[in-house]
């Protein structure tokens, strides 16, 4: 069995290992939507996980025709010819995240050498920021970029040295969203989540500065495990000033399914291309609304932490109605 991705990397993610184990247990072929629903993931995230498992040679990929016609759905099945004892050995001796562990050691050395007057979180942020700068400046012959989207290709590619699954998971007129960097700080996250978040923030800030685009950062709630980051070029306006919602729905206090039903009713009265604002709560809410929007042909264009006029916290989702 020779895959394009090592088994260690494929099973280095807890979510991916769970998906593989689930496929082995059900002994059946599942679609992206099946897996997304079972693990509460956005379909695009589930598709990425399944693709890596297939590239490692752990899954076979086929097609299933729809009863009503249309494009066949891609299906995934655990390969029967895989020696799962060998899989366990390979995943143990080829652990993902060796570069991330080395990064943590370097940052620890920097923290020990740095003055002790500033709080640890601030010093960790600064050390990670310098690491991000060095990561970009070490790639010789590359000129600074002027636009956030242009800089993102370079920085995300460079940061994959520490977090192989980092990716741009969404974008808008003046923003991008980045998932997967949390894999670089797993060792710290278990002990001190605040410190881990500070390191992630520093890595992104330093990398984009070196690429020529200083950024503003905010941690957002995403479908994927770990933090998602909303990035904007410094001085760019946020979605509240660039997107005007045609209607608003407060789904807090309702079950997720009831909230989706209300959103379906509300968006029916809107014109194609209009934006519905939904205020939700709970870490799984974005994934639930994203699944509904994807199936209905609508577009989830923003997810962010917010507060209503009364100061009550919420997850703010902007959903653009499908265009005719």
pLDDT (tens digit, 9 = 90+) per residue, 134-163? 888 765 445 566 678 778 888 888 888 888
* CA–CA dist 306, 220 (Å, integer): 10
The confidence band for 230, taking pLDDT boundaries of 50, 70 and 90, is: confident
The confidence band for 268, taking pLDDT boundaries of 50, 70 and 90, is: very high
Domain 98-233 sits in which CATH superfamily?
Answer: Trafficking protein particle complex subunit 3 (3.30.1380.20)
The confidence band for 118, taking pLDDT boundaries of 50, 70 and 90, is: low
Residue with tokens 């759905």: 73
Q: What share of the chain is helix, strand, coil (3-state, %, to 5)?
A: 45, 20, 35
Residue 198 reports pLDDT greater than 90 = no
Please give the C-alpha separations between residue 86 and each of 1, 155, 221, in angstroms, as whole numbers: 11, 35, 37
Q: Which long-range contacts (CB under 8 A, 24 or more apart) does 291-299 make?
A: 291/33, 291/36, 291/37, 291/42, 291/43, 292/260, 292/263, 292/264, 293/319, 294/42, 294/43, 296/264, 296/322, 297/322, 298/267, 298/322
**DSSP code of residue 185:** G
The pLDDT, as a whole number, for residue 236 is 45
The pLDDT, as a whole number, for residue 266 is 94
Task: Mention the CATH class of domain 243-320.
Answer: alpha beta
120 C-beta neighbours (distance < 10 Å), count:
14
Q: Select 7-93's CATH number: 3.10.129.10, 2.40.50.90, 1.10.10.10, 3.30.70.360.
A: 1.10.10.10
pTM greater than the 0.95 cutoff: no
* CA–CA dist 69, 88 (Å, integer): 40
The fraction of the chain above a pLDDT of 90, given in percent, is 11
147 C-beta neighbours (distance < 10 Å), count:
11
Q: What mean pLDDT is reported for the chain?
A: 78
CB of 182 closer than 8 Å to CB of 189 = yes
* CA–CA dist 106, 304 (Å, integer): 32
The domains of the chain are located at 7-93, 98-233, 243-320
CB of 136 closer than 8 Å to CB of 207 = yes
The confidence band for 259, taking pLDDT boundaries of 50, 70 and 90, is: very high
The pLDDT, as a whole number, for residue 111 is 65
* CA–CA dist 280, 314 (Å, integer): 6
């Amino acid at each position: 069995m020779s895959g394009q991705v090592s088994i260690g990397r494929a099973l280095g993610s807890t979510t991916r290992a769970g998906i593989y184990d689930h496929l082995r247990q059900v002994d059946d072929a599942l679609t992206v939507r099946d897996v997304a629903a079972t693990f509460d993931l956005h379909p695009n995230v589930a598709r990425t996980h399944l693709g890596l498992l297939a590239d490692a040679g752990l899954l076979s990929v086929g097609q299933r025709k729809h009863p009503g016609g249309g494009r066949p759905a891609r299906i995934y099945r655990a390969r029967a010819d895989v020696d799962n004892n060998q899989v366990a050995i390979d995943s143990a001796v080829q652990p993902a995240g060796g570069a991330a562990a080395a990064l943590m050691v370097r940052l620890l050395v920097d923290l020990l050498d740095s003055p002790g007057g500033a709080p640890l979180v601030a010093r960790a942020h600064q050390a990670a920021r310098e690491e991000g700068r060095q990561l970009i400046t070490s790639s010789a012959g590359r000129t600074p970029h002027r636009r956030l989207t242009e800089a993102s290709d370079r920085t995300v590619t460079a940061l994959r040295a520490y977090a192989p699954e980092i990716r741009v998971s969404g974008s808008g007129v003046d923003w991008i969203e980045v998932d997967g960097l949390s894999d670089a700080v797993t060792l710290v996250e278990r002990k001190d989540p605040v410190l881990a978040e500070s390191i992630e923030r520093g890595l992104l800030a330093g990398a984009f500065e070196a690429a020529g685009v200083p950024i503003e950062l905010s941690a957002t709630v995403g479908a994927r495990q770990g933090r998602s980051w909303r990035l904007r070029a410094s001085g760019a306006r946020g979605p509240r000033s660039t997107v005007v919602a045609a209607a608003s729905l407060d789904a807090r206090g309702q079950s997720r399914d009831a909230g989706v039903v209300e959103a379906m009713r509300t968006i029916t009265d809107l014109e194609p291309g209009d934006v519905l604002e939904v205020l939700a709560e709970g870490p799984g809410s974005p994934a639930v609304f994203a699944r509904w929007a994807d199936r209905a042909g609508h577009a989830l264009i923003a997810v962010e932490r917010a507060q209503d006029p009364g100061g009550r916290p919420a997850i703010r989702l902007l959903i653009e109605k499908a265009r005719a």
